[in-house]
Amino acid sequence: QRADGATWSLVMTEAQIAVNLLVIVLAVRLGTGGVTAAEVVLIAVAGVGVAGWFLADEPLVAVGCVVAADLIAAGMMLPKTWRSPHSETLSTFALGSLAGALALGSVGGLEPALLLYPLYYCLVNGALALLIRHRRTISAGTGQVAIAL
């Protein structure tokens, strides 16, 4: 994105990197459980996406690789989020969606390489927030589908 002229819209991406690193450190230090064989395969595929980001000489291809890697990671958390919606922080995903929308609004030009990631980030975080809210409502026994965040 920087190679294609992004400026302020990079703040959201840089903040995400910092927060993800913090989560990784805390998960390794405080986490429980392990990794299944399927998860190892998905992590490897996501790693290929990250490698594509580093190796791509074209900004749109690089951003596409990052989106693919992140989408795999989001997909990996879906089963746990479905089973245990209270294990995720709803506000993190709702605010992440808002951050993506704001980053989208701060993009300096209408180039796809600049728009793709903030749009993706807004949509995937919004969808995860809605899933968490919906599953929490169901688990509370109300049986109602909640749309409001």
Q: Which pTM does this prediction carry?
A: 0.69
Chain segment 34-78, per-residue pLDDT in tens: 677 877 787 787 777 777 777 777 778 888 888 888 898 898 889
pLDDT of residue 13: 75
90-106 helix and 10-30 helix, angle to the nearest 10 degrees: 160
Which of 76-80, 133-137, 142-146 is the least confident region? 142-146
